Structures are given as C-alpha cells and as structure tokens.
Structure 1
Amino acid sequence: MTQLAPLPSVPTSAEVVVIGGGIIGVSTLYHLAKKGVSSAVLVERKTIASGTTWHAAGIVGQLRESAGQTELSRYTTRLFTELEVETGQATGYKQNGTLHVALSDLRQEQLRRNHDHAGRMGIESHLLSPDQVLEKYPHLQIDDVLGGFFVPSNGQVNPLDVTQAMAKGARARGAQVLEHTAATRILTRNGRVCGVETDRGVIATEKVLLAGGMWTSRFAAAHGVTVPLHATEHFYIVTEPLEGLSRNIPGLIVAEERLYTKEDAGKLLIGGFEAQGKAWGREGIPASFEFDELPFDMDHVSPMLERAFARFPFLETTGIHTFFNGPESFTPDGRPYLGPAPEMPGLWIAAGMNSNGILNGGGFGLTMAAWMTDGMPTRAVGAMLAARAHPFQMNRAYNAERAEESIGFHYGLQWPGRQITSARGIRRVPLHDKLLAEGAVMAERIGWEIPMYFDASGKGWSDRPSLGWQDWSPFVAAESKAAAEAAVLIDQSMYGKIIVQGPDAVRALNHVSGAEMDVAVGISVYTQFLNEKGGIEADVTVTRLQPEQFLVVTGHPSQIRDQALIRAHANPDWRFEIFDATSAYGLLTIHGPKSRAILQAISSDDLSNTAFPFGAAREIDLGHARVWAIRRSFLGELGYELLMPTEFSAHVYEAMMAVGKPQGLRLAGMFALGACRLEKAFRHFGHDIGEEDTPYETGLGFAVKLDKPDFVGKATLARQKAEQGAATHHRTVAILVEGATAEAGPYLMHNEPIWRDGEIVGHVTSGGWGWRLGAMVGLASLHREAGVSKAWIEEGGFTAQIAGTQYPIRVQLQPFHDPEGRIMRG
C-alpha cells in the first residue's frame, strides 16, 4: 500500500493568504513571491488546478477592449514564454497564432476594426482573404467565409502545466502551497480581515485573496460579500489523431457559429459557447469535486456539433476521441470581478473569469499582487471592479439564469441592439409602466430596465445587426431634435443617489474630491473622486442639502463602488455616515429651451436665471410635491435634474407632461442622452475618463482646487500642473469626421486610431452620430511627448482610422455644440 506523504503544517500567520489553487490564485501567489512577500500562503481544498483550470482550452489572446487590459494580456504571453526557462517546468506554450474568420459584412467590419486596434497597440496582425484563410487553415470549409484576421503572436498553453510552473516558481521564492487544506471561514475583527480558518488550523493575516472559481459566490455570500457568478457546463470534443494536421496550426474562432478549435497533440479540439447554456451546481458544488467531468449532453450540444461538421468536412471521416463536459463560472455581465470587496476591508476578489482565466492568468496575478501590496493595481481594471456588484446579485436563481445566457456573450455578433433576455424586469424605475405605455424600448443594466428610446408602435428591438445606421435612429433623431427645439423628459431614477451626512461629512467628501466641497447649502458641485495617482475613480455631482448633509449623484454602475471609495479613504475617527438613497428617490431630468417655462407653469417658485442660476440647487414646489431641483444638463441644454421621494414620481411626471406636451415636450431615452452628450463633449466615466486619467489630461482641470487642504492625489496633480501646465502629455479632445453621413457613416465607436504626420497620436474613446449637429462626433485621447498644446491641435492634419480607412477629422479642445456653454447657462 502506497504511503501518502504527510501534509505540511499550517503556519500560524502569513502576510497574505490566497484561497483557491486555480490559475488566478496560483499566479497571484507567484507574483506576490516575486515582489518579496515571503510569507504568502495559498490554501487549496483539493489539489491545484483541479476545479476549472485543468480542463480549459488554453487559447491565449492579447487584444482586449482597453489599452490597459491589452497590456495585461500581452504580459501573460511574455510570462508563459519565460516560465519554463525560470522553473524548468514545461508549460506547453507555443505561439501558433489565432485566426478569426468572418461570415458576414458586419463581422468583417469588426475584424477590420480589430486590425486597426492591434496596430495602435503595436501587435502584429493581418487581414486575410478567403484563400489566405484556407492557406492558414487547410481543413476549413470557406465557401461562405468573407475574410479573416490573424494574430501570429497569440498562442496556446497547457493550463495544468503552466499552473504547476507558477506554483514551483512561487515555492522557490518562499511562498507556501497547502493542498488538501480547505478554507472554512474568513475571520474578522471590527469588520476587517484578521485571519483564515481552515480545516487544519487558523492562519492569522490581514490580507486575503478569494480566488475560488466556481466556489467563490457561495463562500463570499456566507460572509456577506457579493460576488455574482455561477457555474455552467462547457462542452468540447477532441478528434482522433488527424493525418497531416500541423502542430503549428493556429487556434480558430468562428464567432458567428460560436465555434473555436485548437491543435491538441496531433488531434483537434473543437468547442463552442452556445447562445443558451446549461447552469450547473444549482444546489452547490459537490464537496468531492476534483478533476471531475460532467455527463455529455448530446441533445444540448447537437446544434453546435452540426455546425462543426459542416465547417470541418473531415469530421465525416474522423473518429471522436473525447466528448468532454466540464464546469466553468460565468458572471452576469461577462466580465471578471477583481479588487477589494467593499463589504470587508482586507478581502480582495479575483473570480468569474468567464472562460478567460488562462489568457488573463499572468496579467491578473500581476495586478492582484500589486494591489494587495502597493494599494493600486498595475493597470486600470475599472470595468472589472468587484465593487461594481450590487447586493441583489447575491441571488442564486438570478445568477444561474443569467449564466446560461452569459456563456454566450463571448461569441455571436456584438452590436448595439444585442440585448440580454434572461433575468429581466428585476429593477424598475418608478415610472416603468407609464414609460412602457408611451412606447419605451428597454435595455437591461445591472438589473435595471432602462428606456433607450421611444417607439409608439410597440415594435421593440430590431433584429437587424448594424454598427451604423439603426432601425431606431429616426426615433433618436426626433428626441435629440426635441431637446434642441422644445424639451425632453428623461427618467434617470436608476442613477445612484448617496447621502453623506454628519459633522465630518464635508471632510470625508473633500478628501476624495478634486473640487471644493465646503460650499453653501443649495450649491451643486461637479467633481471627480480621485486616487493616489490623481486618476479619476468617479465622476459625480455633489449637492449640499443641509450644513451636514450632502447628496452624491452618480451613474448606476457606480452605486456601490463610490460608497466604498469614500469609506476606504476616510479617517476612522471622522463622524459621518453614508446612506444609499437610490431606491428612496426618483430622478427625472428635463432639458431644452422650454424646460424652464414648463416647470414654471407648475411651480410657484421663481425659476428665472437670476433667482436660479446654473449649478444652483433649490427645494421647490412642483405640482403638489416638494422637489429638489438642480440646474444641470448632461445634454448641454437648459436643464434641471429633479429629485423627489419615489412616491411622488408619478404625480410630478403627470404634471410636467400635462403642461409640457402642448409645448412639444416628449420623452427621451438613453440613446438620445448619449448622442447629445457627445456633441457637447461631456466625458463619460468608463469610456472617456477612468482610473489612469487625471482631470488635467481630460480637460477637467477646472474641477480641481489645488489650494484646498490635502486630498487624495493632490501631490501628483500639483506636480503635473507645475511640470506640464495646459500642455499635458495626454489630452482629451473633441473630434468631428469630415463628410460623414448618418446613413452611410463612417461611424466612430471606440479605439479607432488617430493619425498625424504618419504617426499614431491617439485613439477615439467614444463616438457616434450627433443629431443636433448633423455630424459624426466623438471624444479622443491624444498623446505627445512635447505636450498636447492648443497650438499643436490647431495646426490640424489629423485623421481617424475607421475599419481600415483614414478619414480627415476636425480636432478641438472645445465641444462642437455650444462651445461657450451659453445655452446651458441661459
């Protein structure tokens, strides 16, 4: 009988404890050890990589939606090439490239845009004709293939081997890997992490990373922490050995058929991400799970296999060696959860990889190690922050239902009309039914049903995929025109409303804000919350309601995140409290030249510009209700944000519509708001501004008051202003594409390179058609080592590369709509 080696003893303390031995947990341990954290410990319930990691396909790509994420993926590919040399442990990594093919004009345009993005990021890529596709991938049926996109520096790796290599590298630097050691509880003292209880003893620590893969959600929920994810079944087949199959054949992705392939020791692995998957583990993951497979559901997978047999004719005469089904965890929005858990200081999350754990493995491990030791991630990961999760997303039924759809977010056609269909109708604004009755066409955002545009016909979303002119464009045009000529009413009740109150409320807000918060009661301030590098963590308005009470209005994705940020930077001795008032208040906004007259008709208060100027906040009569009115407009028109207790929303809405409709007031959705804000060059947090952008670089320096007492990021911003002044190395600008039309484009979207004098000098951060201007407009970030000065911009000569073609653009610091802001302040 084989004698098992005794398990190493559990240490009594550690600087960091990592829970979970998959690729992400082991990579973080490895990078912690590289940073000199010698007492880092990883605990794994069974053996490392035995959950999801071991059966991953292992395809490694680099291009992501942002420059920061792309850099992290590029780091992963570099790491995989170095690990084997460093540790002597084979990883199976090879750079055989990835090949994407297009079966439609829309997908072909997306591939051309990806090629442009790759060029901006310095990643070699090639657009291929159908014949060139066949040359790269001889086994493919190409009768309906329009073209391809090939990235030679991408590749594939053996997931189990690369995880073992990282573990070996971590151990060599003093870190410990404790297999067959289950974490049973995270211990806290005064709400902060103080240790991890395992089934073999307690480890005292102040820092814990929870990287438990598909186990994470339930383990976190047991501690009051929300990490929304759920396991689904993931299927693939592996053929018998194929004669003539090159070991260097690239990985293949046919997104429209939801298929992928990779070479596997002379065989071909063929898998896919179906549009509607199967949730697994609804009652929890079995305690015995280790390197387990799930039953192969042939009925469920048959449509995918039929597409595969048609796409790869050789399958008709080739045997299938393996029919595989294994669990992988997916999140409600298809993005991972990374960073500090807002509910428990000292706990970090890295989970919900959505089948991208291997290609994210190196970069995410690097990021989490830096975050846990230096206090900041290596690159911005704002779209993946753990703090974006909302408490309702702890619901298990919600996560299971959504995971069955989110497995399909990977593939298929991505376009603005692609809508989520699962777990709908969860969160509704107070006027939900009234808006539907007026033809609101809803989209889902973090559970909210949000009106995107209004179509009285009730036809709903179009199923015609397009990256340009949409079937709903005429409705958005009419709503935008009404904002310019009469007035529009938008229900923005889904926005976060946060009350900060107490004797030190002003102190807490001033500490994280660039602007001065110590203003008179009845003043609304536009500001950014900042990080230590001067980067933008939130874009908000703050209104002083009472001497010790402030209202923060933020975007609906930031409802939890912004509260956590205020708390994280506050002195524990400060006396203040934070109350999430999002559900307590409705938020209706009205914009347009007739908005004042409409409100004045149902209010006894003086709403003249003299009595109620731009930026002011007043509690006023409106109909028979009392409403906080704030003079602001994200559309760049004369406008008001109206905040009222939820129960008054219907009454205020009816009163405004009764007097407003005869004057041309109409309902508008978020598409019109987005189009108008682009014309006005208003920055959108998460697209145009983020954690790596400072206010001076983004044209928001007016919202920074360096003469106020110390605040987060002040030293960095003061140094940047002193050294670079107005000509920072990076600068956000407004752009307009010469000669574009709404019907034919070209359409700006995101990441299009900006050229001047034969060099790439920036990229588009957001763009679209501006209906008031009748022009294609957007925002872009320009970079120049000598400084992006006003004079350099005015010299002109800029072009935007859109789907492979360069178009002349106008560039300026001011918005193209009402550049002086007279309309909004009138």
Structure 2
Amino acid sequence: METSCSIPASAQVVVVGGGIVGCSVAYHLTKLGFSDVVLLEQKAVAGGTTWHAAGMVGRLRTSNSLTKINQYSAELYAGLEAETGHATGWKQVGSLVLASNEERMTQLYRTAAMAEYLGVQADLISAKEAGEKWPLIKTDDLLGAVWLPGDGKVIPKETAMALAIGAQQNGAKICENVEAHEILHRNGRAAGVKTNQGLIEAEYVVLACGMWSRQLGLTCGVSIPLAPVEHHYVVSNPIEGAFDELPCGRDPDATIYFRGEDNTVLLGAFQKYTKPWLQDPIPSDFSFDLLKADWKKYRDPLRAGEFRIPKLKDAGYSKFVNGPESFTPDNQFLLGETPELQGLFVAAGFNSAGIACAGGAGKYLAEWMKEGEPTMDLWAVDIRRFGRWANNRTYLRDRITEVLGLHYQMAWPNREMETGRNIRMTPIHDQLKESGACFGSKAGWERPNWFAHLPSKPENQYSFGKQNWFGNHAREHLATRESVALFDQSSFAKLQLKGKDACALMQHVCGNNMDVAPGKAVYTGMFNKRGGFESDFTAVRIAEDEYYIVTASAQAVHDASWISRNTPQGMQVSLTDVTFGTGVLSVMGPEARRFLQPLTDTDLSEESFAFATCKEISIGMSTVRALRLSYMGELGWELHVGMDQMSALYSVLMDHSKTHPIQLAGHYAINSLRLEKGFRAWGHELSPDDNPLEAGLRFAIDWHKTSPFIGQDALMKSKSSQPRKRLAIFTLNDPDIFLWGGEIIYRNGQVVGYTTSGSFGHSIGGGIAMGYVRRKDGVDRAFVLGGDYALKVGNQMIPASAHLKALVN
C-alpha cells in the first residue's frame, strides 16, 4: 500500500486515526460514494492499539443492533482478501464459552436463547463435548458450555491494512506520519484539522483515533468520555497438541480467554479490576509500542489459565503483551455526530472489542453521515447518551478500572457499577440514605432503587431469581397501589424551550398537537425520518412562548441536540438544560390528594386540578411546579422544585408523614408499577426502530394537525398497512418466577420475540413483562391474543398469557 506524507488543502471528509476503526470508516465512506476522503495517521496504519489486539471476532452481542454490527464485521473480514488482494488471516474457528457454576449456566441459557432469536447459531453442549472441541482444557469441573461455530479470528494489523487498501482502491487518500493537533470549527460546525503539516479544511471530520480521541475533542470543546487501561495477554512457548485452528475459548468465571496461535496458546484476561494508564497527554509517538510487563498483576489469570489448560504450566511463556486500550464508562463504544459540533463524528472507545465491531461500526457510521441520522437503532452506542459530567478525567480513571472486567463478570440484569459513584446527588441524598435507600446510578445520578427496613443493610444480593429486596419492593409497590408513596425522580432530564417560535418548533419536532393552552401537559414522541422514536417525553406549556420538557434521565443531551439540529433556520428560540437546578419529588397513590391537600392552599380536587395539568403551588415555604401526572398509573403529583428548596420540601412532606404515613419508594417499584399499567420505557419498549403504531401509542400523535412534523410521511404510510410487530404485556401464573427482560417469547412453539422489560407485578401476583410479538406477514390483535405463549426463563419454558390492555385500572 502506498501512502502519502503530504496532505491536501481540503477534503470532503477527514478521518483522524489509521487503526482498524478509522480504516473501516474510510472504506465504507468510499463505498457509499464519498469521493474525497483523506485518512490521517500520526505514525503508521494499525500502530496504535490495533496491532496488539487478540483478534477474536464474536458475532453475538447484547442486542439486535449490536449483533448486526458484529455479524457484518465477520462477513466483511471473510471476503476482504478476495476484494482487496490483502489477506486478513480470517479463520472461522468458532467460540467456546465455559460454565463452572449454576449461575453461569443460567446466563448461558439466556445467551443461547437470545442467540436463537437474533439468528446466531449457539449450541448448548456438555463438558465432554467442550473438551472434544478444545482437547487441551480440563473439563471435570465444568457444567456445560455454549458453542458458537460462526465466530472466528483475524490478524488485526493485516485486517486494518486490507480495509485501508480497499478505501484507497475506491479513491481515499491515506496519509501516514501526519499528527492531528487541533479540530478546526466555525459557527458551530467542524471545519477541518490542524496538523503538523498545516491545515486541511473539511466538510466532515471523523475522530477514530482510539485513546487519543478525548484529548483531540478537548481542543474544540467536545466531550469524548474514554480513557486507556492496561489489558494483558501472554503467549506460551510451543505446546504439543496446540494448533492455530483451535477455537476462541472463554472461561468467564476465571476471567480468562484463550485461543490457538500457531503451535502455541494465547492466554488473555479481563480481570475484575485493572489499572488505568495514567499518561496524559497520550504521546503521539506511541506506535507499535507496549507497556511494561506486569507479571504480578497477571498472577491470578495465569494461575487460572494453567488450571484450565494444564500444559501451560510446563510450557512457559515467550511473550507478555501489556497494551493500553480505551474504555468508556458503560462498556459500549462511542459512535455518531457530537452534540457540540455539527459535522464532527466519533468512532472510538471500543472497550477491547474494536476488532469484532470495527467492520459494522464503520458501515453504520458512514450510513449515518450519508443519511443525516442513524439508519437503525444505535442508541446503546450513541455518543449523545453522555453529558459533559462523564468526561471528567478523575471519574473516567476510576470507572474504567471496573469496566474492563465487565466482559466476564456475571451479567446480572440489575447490576450496578461500583466505581465512579456519588458524582451527581440531590440535596436529600443523605436523608434518603439514612432512611435505608439502596442507590443505583442513572446518567450519573444517585437515585433510590429500593428502601431497606433498618437495621437490614441496603445492599443488592444478585441472582437471576428473586433477590433479597423482593419483600421491600412488594411493600413499596403495594403502598403506591393501595395508599400513598413518595419517590425521588430528580434524575428526570428537564429542558426549557423559550422564544416567539417555541410553539412552531414543538409542532415541527413532535407528533402530538403541542399548541395547547398554558398549564396543559402533553405526552408526545419525536420521530426520525423512518417514523421511529427518537424520544418520548411530556411537555408542559408554561406560557405562549415557553415549554418545560421532562424526558428520560439519559436523554438530556440527545433530546437537546435533536431539537437544536432540527430547528428551521430563522426560528427565534432558546433551549436550556435545567436538569441540574430542578429536583422532583412525586407523591403517588390513591391517597395522594388526601396526603397533599392539608399542605397547600391550592385546591387539588378533580374539578380544579385535572389530569395532565400543571400549576405553581406552595407547600410549606417551598414554591413548586406541580404536574398532575403519573408514570405509576395512580393518582399523583410530580412536584418539581428548585434544588435550593428541595430539602425544605422533603422535610415538610416527611413531617406530615408522622400523622399521615407515606411510604418511601424507589425505581424498582416504578418499573413494576408502570408495567402493570402498560406504560412504555425509552430504551426498552421504545427505540429508533419502533414506531408508535407498533408500540400501541397512536394517541401520542395528532394525525389531523395541520402543521407537518418530522417522520409524518413515514408514519402515514405505516398507518395504511399492518405492522409486522406489536407490543404486548405478558404475565405468568407461577408466583415463584421473576422476569427481568431478555426472555424469549414463544407463540405456539415458535419464537416471535423477546421481552423488553420485566419485573414482578405484586398487584397481580406474578411475573410481568412487555415485548414485541413479530411476524413477517403482519401482526393484528387477533394474532397476539390468539396464541399459546411461553417465555424461556433460564432453561425452562414457562406458560404465559398475552394482553393488549393494562392489567390494572
């Protein structure tokens, strides 16, 4: 491959970073017709972290979209040599995942079931069969394994080279030894790159430079929350019986992975905690380099490897690889257009999965750039899921030491991170803690998941069945249904839209009619060009020129970006994130009015304070914005209050509880309550791939409003045809089973979907979940309600009932 060391004065797209991800982006951009693409690599192609990767390519991920990304990568790598003439070293050797305890076996049952639905072959096999596929491993302690025959491996450097050659063959220019120093920008848009060879102007800039991405983002005020950690593997001396085509093996209970490497064994690890690489800034000349071998840190994985593969102990080791790799706070990579600058895209932070993800990530980012929005649901990796709070260096260095280990930690459905905590807290955090709150973290916010009865400890004891908080959860759930409960929902994201064109803009971006009287609250969706949800939220019209938007905790940056990017030129509006200054205490339950009325001089009667209305009221000495809404399906008010008055409001409510008892309740109860009521949740039932017709949310659209809105054409077209999927509620009669979401749905013995959310419905006395029922020929009411259903829970088929209406009134 010929590379140029001189850069042109301008290009349509500049891709910064010549690792496998940057090369994939350049390759796919040229495939889509971008004719003027320049890739800048500060040293040599693949010299950063790509070259020392283990090269394992697994097809199965945790969602349909992420599995599509990896499936595409595997297919791309398999055919790349024929296209470009450069060998990638692709070998479809398969993958083997081992289980040595019952809980891991349960996880493998869930994995295999989801794989069946996603179209990835995954066979549950015995310990003996696992030993036949990997003859060098010890199997007498194993309970079983999953075999994924479609997985494979590549030589990472050569795969990056093949992609670079393919991009070059399609017209891209590859420039090595060009260091990017700064991202240029004008009027809110990326404008090019300042390099050690001068400036290069560009319409689009893509940062695909791994652990260097964050520091380049800072040059233009863009947050890219990632940081490097140490990742280790060793290569043995030759071992009799080892060969290159041995499968990629994983023993997650021991935190190790292994594969054949010619006639040796490569043994790697994802330890529970690792060490951050504290170098700052990351040096530009770190190319084809490694960090110092750390045999002491690697002692436990080495011992585990020699237990699983006994011949390793006598063989010894020829190589220790300690390579820094970039990780993100949630173990998912960062993809997409940055909210701070238009035209600046990111593909970075691949959490040691860059080789497996790079092919698909490059494809879908290129499509995003061409179409102006994602072409499928990419929310799990969308860079807009993080705010600026997540780019704090101290926070990142703390969090990423734990994230690496998540690869092989048990995939508990409700696992909470242990590091990087207590960075976003409400003024009443300590009071809730004293009352027994067990906190979880969402978008950095500490929020109560459940409350322990002191002196019991508010700590989660994880399992795939009912957990230690089940009784506490029941008490909170039933208090909300039968009496009254108090929730801290301050993690809601909140936006203020003001200006003379505020109403016109809301009509443009929202499907429902937003031209309502001041004081009225409206539930609506925002939709993409395909008619899929970009978000769902409640908006209150405060005045003729002002709206107060309440959206999901992780949606603040995304929703603000979507609204801003879709504001027609010339409209006079301002959009402000007011999340940080506003707390929310919600009083919910059939006794909510009786509890609150003595505390305020505002009439809370049905006649004076109707559902979906908002008023400013006084409670004690606090002035609050009271919204008559409920995500729990009961009478209630959300009390939105300035953070400076939140403690005072809480004190008044709790003092009142001495004579009128109220139950403190957490987000686990919110989840089960909203499932019984059939309320959808963003990121579960709603995504950019789901439209309101499929989700049963026709009412969230005003089909007759005269002002057009984004996605209207696609939705009108969908309205005239039968949907291929439809959201339903599922219940179990077995009171001993807890549903978590991710259970496969069977109708008349055939797989038709998976559950998107799950819990235990204490009002109905059994497990409850939601999920889409799918059929290529279309799904109507009769099809949903006319089948015999079962959910796959672990390795059991549990009979279930399907419903299209809420389970409680």
Letter of the structure 2 residue corresponding to residue 82 of structure 1: G
> Retained in 2: the 8 A contact 1:58–1:157?
yes
Tell me the equivalent position of 1:787. 778
Paired positions, count: 808
Q: d(CA) in 1 for partners of 2:753 and 2:400?
A: 36
> Retained in 1: the 8 A contact 2:460–2:468?
no
Which stretch of structure 1 is more off in the superposition, 238-247 or 97-106?
238-247
Tell me the equivalent position of 1:688. 685
Q: 1:301 to 1:157 in 2, by over 3 A?
A: same
Listed as ranges, the matches of 1:141-290 within 5 Å are 141-290=138-287
Letter of the structure 1 residue corresponding to residue 719 of structure 2: K
With normalisation by structure 2, the TM-score equals: 0.98
Shift of 1:376: 2.6
Alignment of 1:134 onto 2:128: no
Q: d(CA) in 2 for partners of 1:114 and 1:5?
A: 44
Shift of 1:57: 0.7
Q: d(CA) in 2 for partners of 1:476 and 1:556?
A: 22
Letter of the structure 2 residue corresponding to residue 534 of structure 1: G
Letter of the structure 1 residue corresponding to residue 797 of structure 2: Q
Shift of 1:758: 3.7
From 692, 714, 721, give the equivalent of 1:716: 714
Structure 2 counterpart SS, 1:163? helix
Structure 1 counterpart SS, 2:778? coil
> Retained in 2: the 8 A contact 1:543–1:617?
yes
Tell me the equivalent position of 1:823. none
Q: d(CA) in 1 for partners of 2:425 and 2:455?
A: 19
Shift of 1:807: 2.3
Letter of the structure 2 residue corresponding to residue 71 of structure 1: K
Letter of the structure 1 residue corresponding to residue 729 of structure 2: A
Tell me the equivalent position of 1:660. 657
Which stretch of structure 1 is more off in the superposition, 622-631 or 537-546?
622-631
Letter of the structure 2 residue corresponding to residue 806 of structure 1: M
From 424, 429, 441, give the equivalent of 1:444: 441
Q: d(CA) in 2 for partners of 1:800 and 1:433?
A: 41
Tell me the equivalent position of 1:740. 734
Q: d(CA) in 2 for partners of 1:414 and 1:762?
A: 21
Q: d(CA) in 1 for partners of 2:762 and 2:267?
A: 46
Tell me the equivalent position of 1:620. 617
Shift of 1:773: 1.4
Q: 1:6 to 1:481 in 2, by over 3 A?
A: closer
> Retained in 2: the 8 A contact 1:262–1:268?
yes
> Retained in 2: the 8 A contact 1:483–1:593?
yes
Which stretch of structure 1 is more off in the superposition, 460-469 or 600-609?
460-469
Q: d(CA) in 2 for partners of 1:176 and 1:381?
A: 28
Q: What whole-Å deviation, never above 9, does each CA across 1:253-278 have from its counterpart, x for those lacking one?
A: 11111100111122111010111111
Q: d(CA) in 2 for partners of 1:144 and 1:154?
A: 25
Q: 1:424 to 1:460 in 2, by over 3 A?
A: farther
Letter of the structure 1 residue corresponding to residue 728 of structure 2: V
Q: d(CA) in 2 for partners of 1:417 and 1:367?
A: 29
Structure 1 counterpart SS, 2:10? coil
Listed as ranges, the matches of 1:101-112 within 5 Å are 101-112=98-109
Percentage identity across aligned positions?
A: 37
Tell me the equivalent position of 2:97. 100
Tell me the equivalent position of 1:759. 750
From 3, 11, 14, give the equivalent of 1:14: 11
Q: What whole-Å deviation, never above 9, does each CA across 1:220-243 have from its counterpart, x for those lacking one?
A: 122111111110111110001221
Tell me the equivalent position of 1:500. 497
Letter of the structure 1 residue corresponding to residue 502 of structure 2: A
Q: d(CA) in 2 for partners of 1:387 and 1:159?
A: 29
Q: d(CA) in 1 for partners of 2:3 and 2:480?
A: 73
Letter of the structure 1 residue corresponding to residue 668 of structure 2: F
Q: d(CA) in 1 for partners of 2:543 and 2:491?
A: 24
Q: d(CA) in 1 for partners of 2:4 and 2:368?
A: 30
Q: d(CA) in 1 for partners of 2:306 and 2:2?
A: 48
From 333, 338, 347, give the equivalent of 2:335: 338
Shift of 1:625: 2.1
Letter of the structure 2 residue corresponding to residue 720 of structure 1: S
> Retained in 1: the 8 A contact 2:5–2:178?
no
> Retained in 1: the 8 A contact 2:438–2:459?
no
Q: d(CA) in 2 for partners of 1:183 and 1:283?
A: 16
Tell me the equivalent position of 1:731. 726
Letter of the structure 1 residue corresponding to residue 570 of structure 2: D
Q: d(CA) in 2 for partners of 1:405 and 1:755?
A: 36
Q: d(CA) in 1 for partners of 2:138 and 2:781?
A: 53
- Cα root mean square deviation, aligned: 1.6
Gaps of 5+ in 1: 819-826
Shift of 1:130: 1.3
> Retained in 2: the 8 A contact 1:235–1:325?
yes
Structure 1 counterpart SS, 2:306? helix
Structure 2 counterpart SS, 1:601? helix
Q: What whole-Å deviation, never above 9, does each CA across 1:515-557 have from its counterpart, x for those lacking one?
A: 1111100001111111111111112110011111111111211
From 395, 402, 408, give the equivalent of 2:405: 408
Listed as ranges, the matches of 1:696-715 within 5 Å are 696-708=693-705, 709-715=707-713
> Retained in 1: the 8 A contact 2:413–2:740?
no
Alignment of 1:28 onto 2:57: no
Q: d(CA) in 2 for partners of 1:602 and 1:489?
A: 15
Alignment of 1:315 onto 2:306: no
Shift of 1:356: 0.6
From 364, 367, 379, give the equivalent of 2:376: 379
Q: d(CA) in 1 for partners of 2:460 and 2:140?
A: 25
Shift of 1:786: 3.4
Q: d(CA) in 2 for partners of 1:765 and 1:463?
A: 22
Letter of the structure 1 residue corresponding to residue 711 of structure 2: G
Shift of 1:459: 4.6
With normalisation by structure 1, the TM-score equals: 0.96
From 480, 491, 501, give the equivalent of 2:488: 491
Which stretch of structure 1 is more off in the superposition, 347-356 or 203-212?
203-212
Listed as ranges, the matches of 1:392-431 within 5 Å are 392-416=389-413, 418-431=415-428
Q: d(CA) in 2 for partners of 1:376 and 1:263?
A: 41
Q: d(CA) in 1 for partners of 2:217 and 2:455?
A: 42
Shift of 1:664: 3.3
Shift of 1:5: 9.1
From 666, 670, 679, give the equivalent of 1:669: 666
Letter of the structure 2 residue corresponding to residue 142 of structure 1: T
> Retained in 2: the 8 A contact 1:69–1:380?
no
Gaps of 5+ in 2: none
Q: 1:301 to 1:6 in 2, by over 3 A?
A: closer
Letter of the structure 1 residue corresponding to residue 789 of structure 2: F
Shift of 1:449: 1.3
Shift of 1:624: 2.3
Which stretch of structure 1 is more off in the superposition, 253-262 or 138-147?
138-147
Letter of the structure 2 residue corresponding to residue 765 of structure 1: T
Shift of 1:733: 0.9
Q: What whole-Å deviation, never above 9, does each CA across 1:406-445 have from its counterpart, x for those lacking one?
A: 1111112121463322222111012111101111111222
Structure 2 counterpart SS, 1:181? coil
> Retained in 1: the 8 A contact 2:3–2:175?
no
Letter of the structure 1 residue corresponding to residue 721 of structure 2: E
Q: d(CA) in 1 for partners of 2:512 and 2:318?
A: 64
> Retained in 2: the 8 A contact 1:72–1:379?
no
Tell me the equivalent position of 2:471. 474
> Retained in 1: the 8 A contact 2:239–2:311?
no
Tell me the equivalent position of 2:807. 816
Tell me the equivalent position of 1:44. 41
From 549, 561, 573, give the equivalent of 1:552: 549
Q: d(CA) in 2 for partners of 1:8 and 1:298?
A: 39
Which stretch of structure 1 is more off in the superposition, 757-766 or 298-307?
757-766
Q: d(CA) in 2 for partners of 1:20 and 1:452?
A: 41
From 509, 512, 523, give the equivalent of 2:509: 512
Q: What whole-Å deviation, never above 9, does each CA across 1:598-651 have from its counterpart, x for those lacking one?
A: 110101111111111111111112222221111111111111111111111112
Q: 1:264 to 1:578 in 2, by over 3 A?
A: same
